Structure 1
Amino acid sequence: MSVGRQLHLAVSLDGFGAHPAAWRRTARTPESAFGSAALHLDAVRRAEEGLLDFVTLDDSRPIHAHRDGRALGRLEAAQVLAVAAAATSRIGLVPTGLTGRLPGEVADRIATLDHLSAGRAGWRPRVDVTPEQLKLALEPEGGPLFVELFDEAEEFTRAVLGYWDSWAPGALLGDLVGGRFVDQALIRPADLDGVHVRATGSAGVPRPPQGRPVTAILGHATIPYRLVARHAEVGFVTPADTAGLLEIREEVEGLRKEAGRAERPFRLFADLNVVLAGSEAAAQERLADLDALDGEPFTSDAAVFAGTPAGLADHLEEWFRDGGADGFRLRPAQLAEDLDALVDGLVPELQRRGLFRTAYTATTLRGHLGLPEAGHGDETGHGHGAGGR
């Protein structure tokens, strides 16, 4: 039987899970997770056993306040995934790049991950805001601060891409008589003098193996969709149902056409929180138990699915065949439990339906996603790299 179009799968790693009460249902303490990468390393290995395309790992400000007054923090995502690169061989590794950081540092960090993983890196540009700014930005959404934050994200993304393009294919760097030697003919400095972001000079890390690590961007509305349209090769969206997914796909494709990128390869991923069990009743019971521990029902920017792996396969198949999704980024409510259910239950069911790979056939993230290697300065309408507005 010939294999038809197959969907892509990714998983979001978020502490003990996407549900705020997930940490209360584990033997470990939050402090132990913050001080060790073991939790996420185990999850990345498990995801690779399931042949998933990639994992994402978020960053945040080093310390931020939870609503119950606890101070929370995260390990730096690119460093954790750099360790995971040594412990895996095929799965893609996608950390966040926060707009509040220097674009040159982010570019070097992600390029280093691409080298360490032999071409398995991606990155997710994300607006870096304080809780106070977030409240102001979303009330109302599309207000001046919201627009300003995404204008900054646009410049930041262009700057990072420009640093990767500053090393042309074949450029070499070495020591010469105790000094630094660069073949200047093969270097094209980044050049961006924006309102929010400035970038100049060349990256400190040579050209990544993929040309550019895969750019993945999350969007919820027109303004972030515009950023997706201009720069993303993978777009994460958060539909409520099939009709909503179709509307989002149409809007994003329209914006991509406006940006002159309609013919460029692009993968649309729908995000979904998942709570899985052997029966729908048991899954609903798990969700209710977590909600009771947290003191309120689980709400998220993405929809919540509570059911069986087979039921989830039905849901994904509908969104894939009828909703226009190319793939899915699943957010386990409890990382260990739900990731095991995805690998041991969902993946075999999708394989049985001919909807998911039975083995890795590529070695790079671009290969998994069917994306070509990025050419030098490969950004329509922006000249080379970060230059040209």
Structure 2
Amino acid sequence: MATQIKPRQIKLGAFLPGGGQHVAAWRHPGQPADGATDFEFHKQLAQTAERGLFDAYFLADGLAVSFGGGTEGGNAKVAGFEPVTLFSALAPLTTHLGFIATASTTYEEPYNLARKFASLDLISQGRAGWNVVTTGTEAAAYNFSLDQQHPHAVRYRRAAEHVEVVKKLWDSFEDDAFIRDKRTGQFFDTDKLHYTNHRGEHFKVKGPLNVSRSPQGHPVIVQAGQSEDGRGLAAATAEVIFTAHQHLETAQEFYRDIKARAIGVGRDPGHVLVMPGVSPFIGRTEAEAREKYEKLTALILEEDGLALLNGLTGGTLDLSGHDLDGPLPPTPPTEGMKSRQALIRRIADERNFTIRQLYQWIASARGHFTIVGTPVQIADTLEEWFENEGADGFNILPPWLPAGLDDFVELVIPELQRRGLFRTAYEGRTLRENLGLPFPANRWTRATARQAAE
């Protein structure tokens, strides 16, 4: 009997900062004002995401108070939980939901980062993911004994080597290294513990790591860069790529380019999942969805909108004295997020936005795709991108919480399920199993198997 091939289905991440995605979310009457540091609220969000059968709970992170816009006083992202710490507390309260935490290759050492994520992977029984970022802000540099941030190219060279070292450390113990035989007194097989012995441009790490492997081998690697350097790093190392696009055409170009690059470095393109960000304002009618969008837009403080815009264009754009109902002035070069600066510029030019209209539009998703519509309209858009080489799945950014997440779970997911585009039950217990990603065989086990075959 021929093996039945399971139809390809959409993968979904839930990007759920407790203070809400939108720059003014915390001011919404339905959003807890202290949600960013309310553990019980994060617990509620995680359990709702699991009820909706999301693959993972995703969190960004910054290493300075100015993360997400500025210090003008109206931004709930100014302070919150460190993601790995939060997810270590949430993991035992869930059973299938993955947890993708952001951590910086620029300001963390490979050994500490590898240890932290390996621990989360064990605590969650194989549901951890690492979102690899290079941290491109001057504000962060000032917190790590630097007078200015490292150049863009240097950050990405360091990132590539950093990921290489972390993956080596995660392979320190082979999967069956721990015997734990009380009768003989042998706790582990010393032949299955391996030193890292890495020497490179940025790092010198002997190893081995003092944490064992988890049921999924090692955490899923996620990356979000869209610049030339970012694409190269993602194609070579990432298993999930979080990306920002406003149009199917640009999403397709990115998708096809990443898959081709993956093939070029000997990887299976099916094991590199592209998941654009989508911020949905959901209404049972178009009018209701539009009302939700306009209600949240009206809560934006002008100074916070401008700070957000400055942060996303590289932190080099001084808009003081400019007519907010006039066009966006030229943006100076940046060593920060080059791809995001270019995207914001493109949004402004394509839509002929004024400065005010631009910060209102990006206030919810910071350059990711915003959809205002009914569950059917939103499902139509996701299906179009999914079926036409624009996406393997999506990272959903509810504008405010908990209602934005509740709306998606209660209204959009049933529509996707009705179309056969989304699961009705989890496929497995680990994040890899649910994403359809392969188990990464330990490099030392692979080497032994090759030697035996020869």
TM-score range, shorter chain: 0.7 to 0.9
Provide, for residues 92-144 of structure 1, a one-character-per-residue CA deviation record: whole Å limited to 9, x for no partner.
1111122211221211111111111111111111112334589xxxxxxxx98
**1:82 offset after TM fit, Å?**
1.3
* Structure that is richer in strand per residue: 1
SS at match of 2:443: coil
Amino acid at match of 1:123: W
Amino acid at match of 1:189: Y
| CA displacement 1:144-201 (0-9 Å, x = unmatched) | 811111112112211211110111121239799xxx9764311122233233333321
For 1:100-111, what aligned pairs fall within 5 Å after superposition?
100-111=107-118
Match of 1:114 in 2: 121
**2:49 maps to what in 1?**
47
Tell me if 1:298 matches 2:361.
yes
- Which residues of structure 1 form unaligned runs of 5+? 135-142, 381-389
User: Hey, what does 1:329 align to over in structure 2?
Assistant: 395
Instruction: Assess if the C-alpha contact under 8 Å between 1:62 and 1:74 holds in 2.
Output: no
Aligned residue number for residue 212 of structure 1: 218
- Confirm whether residue 192 of structure 1 aligns to residue 192 of structure 2: no
Among 166, 170, 173, which residue is 2:172 paired with? 166
1:21 to 2:24 alignment: yes
Residues 31 and 402 in structure 2, CA contact (< 8 A), matched pair in contact too = no
Structure number with bigger Rg? 2
Cα deviation code 1:251-281 (max 9, x no counterpart)? 1122212322246622221211222222222
Please, what TM-score do these two structures have when normalized by structure 2?
0.75
Structure 2 residue aligned with 1:368: 434
Judged with a 3 Å threshold, the aligned counterparts in structure 2 of structure 1 residues 342 and 377 are, in CA distance, closer, same or farther, namely same
Amino acid at match of 1:114: D
Return the alpha-carbon distance in structure 2 between the equivalents of residues 321 and 28 of structure 1. Answer: 34
Match of 1:335, SS state, is coil
What is the distance in 2 between the residues matched to 1:232 and 1:3? 24
Alignment of structure 1 residues 213-292 onto 2, 5 Å: 213-262=219-268, 265-292=271-298
- Match in the other structure for 2:340: none
CA distance in structure 2 between the partners assigned to 1:35 and 1:67 by the alignment: 18
Q: CA deviation at 1:356?
A: 0.8
SS in 2 for 1:298: helix
TM-score by length of 1: 0.86
Does 2:91 correspond to 1:85? yes
Q: Which moved more, 1:184-193 or 1:81-90?
A: 184-193
Task: Describe the SS at the equivalent of 2:130.
Answer: strand
Q: C-alpha deviations, 1:282-329, integer Å up to 9, x for none?
A: 222222222221134131231211112221100000001113411111
Q: Secondary structure at the match of 1:122?
A: strand
Q: CA deviation at 1:224?
A: 0.6
Which deviations, in whole Å up to 9, do the C-alpha atoms of 1:33-79 show, x marking residues without a partner?
Answer: 34432222111100000111111122221633642523822211011
- Unpaired segments of 5 or more residues in structure 2? 142-148, 303-358, 447-454
Q: Please say which of residues 10-19 and 61-70 is displaced more in the overlay.
A: 61-70
1:387 matched to which residue of 2?
Answer: none
Query: Are the equivalent residues in 1 in contact too, given 2:13–2:58 (CA < 8 A)?
Result: yes
- 1: CA distance, partners of 2:194 / 2:410: 47
Structure-2 change in CA distance of 1:199 and 1:63 (3 Å): farther
Query: Shift of the alpha carbon at 1:221?
Result: 2.5
Where does residue 307 of structure 1 map in the other structure? 373
Contact 2:64/2:140 (CA < 8 Å) preserved in 1? Answer: no
Match of 1:338 in 2: 404
- How many equivalent pairs are there? 367
